[in-house]
Amino acid sequence: MKHLHRRMRSAVAGFTLLEALIATTLMGMVLLAIGAITAQWLPTWNRGFMRVQRSELFAVALNRLAADLAAAEFITPNRESKRPIFEGTASAVTLVRSAVGPNTEGGLEVVRIAESTDRQGIVLLRSRTRFAPFGLGDVSANQLNFTDPVVLLRAPFRVSFSYSSGDGSWSDTWQNTSDLPSVVRFLVRDSTTGRTLAISSATMVHVELPADCAGEGAQACSSQPSLAASRAAKPTDGPDTPTNPLDFPTNNSSQGRDAARGFAR
């Protein structure tokens, strides 16, 4: 009876020590092979993931830039001034637009897009503040306290702005003028190589003149140069086809958007 019980126990026994060592060795070889394969494709996967992420960040930043610049409104700082609040340099833009964003009340806000620095280096920062009429005689936006900073781009990528009234010439500054620019171009450069990226673009400003120029007040603005009039005075190769890519309508038409895209090329 005892011999029968021992035979039953031996029949259901597990691995021997030798079998366990062989299984462990085989498992280690399989894990080493998987690790070697993973080490080869993981860096490539990381680079691809970073490229996709960078492209998405570029798209968000450029869409934000284009939306803010296109929505700039002709708002004067006070009732005495006739010049709009728009200060543009090669590295910064300050403008007034309708408030936008979550948990934002209606009205106007002053938006500033400018280069700044943080722990990681140079960044393109977007900040804003509620618009309120300036004091008499004080027409500078430098006194404003901007809040809600949002990083749009980081080094080594930098953005430079240029401005045009629609006559084909570009300027790195747009300050103390009686009207808004027709087009704002933003060039994205890689500061390590100095190369201008293909994602650079331009956007048209929807509003160029104050609201007084509409309706009965149009005659008061007749002395200001009209881009549409200058286009009408130039010969064209066909109907609605400008001879120069810089001659485009100032409204938000598809033709104007196509022309604005050509500014970056």
Per-residue confidence (pLDDT) for residue 251, from 0 to 100: 38
Determine phi and psi for 100, rounding to 5 degrees.
-145, 145
- Is pTM beyond 0.75? Reply is no
Per-residue confidence (pLDDT) for residue 218, from 0 to 100: 56
Residue 252 has pLDDT above 50, yes or no: no
Per-residue confidence (pLDDT) for residue 137, from 0 to 100: 65
Highest mean pLDDT among 14-23, 97-106, 187-196, 246-255: 187-196
pLDDT band at 220 (very low <50, low <70, confident <90, very high): low
In the chain, where does DSSP find H-type helix? 2-11, 17-70, 227-233, 254-261
Residue 244 has pLDDT above 50, yes or no: no
Range with the lowest mean pLDDT among 35-39, 66-70, 115-119?
35-39
CA-based end-to-end distance of the chain:
96
Per-residue confidence (pLDDT) for residue 15, from 0 to 100: 66
Q: Which residue has the higher pLDDT, 62 or 255?
A: 62
